[in-house]
Chains A and B, each alone.
Chain A
Amino acid sequence: SQTIHQWPATLVQPVGSPLSLECTVEGTSNPNLYWYRQAAGRGLQLLFYSVGIGQISSEVPQNLSASRPQDRQFILSSKKLLLSDSGFYLCAWRDRGKFTEAFFGQGTRLTVV
């Protein structure tokens, strides 16, 4: 069966520090991968998606970046965090095709102080 791992679960980082959040998927090949951010009480903002190794599409201009060094690994990074980067970050995957369910990781609650 397929599983998705996302870590860490919580993170407190100072302003200006770097960020690296990692997500890995098991039990499937060539998935579509996604990073979302959710501010408190708000919706799911699509940040990045990837259809293959090294292929990253950015939805929102910001000081975040994403990389996909391996088929089932998706990394969200920042060189210098801002206070506004605080939020709940969710990684997700789904199989190719339109009629496919998205599966989410447990999420990372990031607080920038």
Chain B
Amino acid sequence: GENVEQHPSTLSVQEGDSAVIKCTYSDSASNYFPWYKQELGKRPQLIIDIRSNVGEKKDQRIAVTLNKTAKHFSLHITETQPEDSAVYFCAGPPSDYKLSFGAGTTVTVRA
């Protein structure tokens, strides 16, 4: 998979505010951009993904946007709640076999 740079590494937000995490990639041929969430002590799970033929995808309070020109994709969480506290990973656009992840963002939602 392609390496990606993920920022920020930590993010603290007030409950109800929005959170945005960004990943930058370099391979212009990349066409699939997933996001995973890992709660404390648990396994990562896919929460949303997007393919390159669309610019944005929403699922309730989460959304992913893609800017192919700038080569970055972002995870947006609106109206944050305590259960959104977790580590979020973007995955490097995968090849048919290899799958690597960004460094992760620890999101803390303050009550």
Contact = CB atoms under 8 A, between A and B. Distances in A.
Interface residues of B, number: 27
Which DSSP category, helix, strand, loop or mixed, fits chain A's interface? Answer: loop
Which DSSP category, helix, strand, loop or mixed, fits chain B's interface? Answer: loop
Which of A46, A101, A102, A105 has the most chain B CB atoms inside 10 A of its CB? A102
A101 B46 contact: yes
Contact of A44 (B32, B44, B96, B98): B44
B43 A43 contact: no
A18 B36 CA distance: 32
A10 to B, nearest CB: 11
Interface stretch (B14-22, B72-80, B87-95): B87-95
B103 interface: yes
B43 A98 contact: no
Interface of B: 1, 31-32, 34, 36, 42-46, 49, 51, 89, 91, 93-104, 106
Interface of A: 32, 34, 36, 41-44, 46, 49, 51, 57, 90, 92, 94, 96-102, 104-107
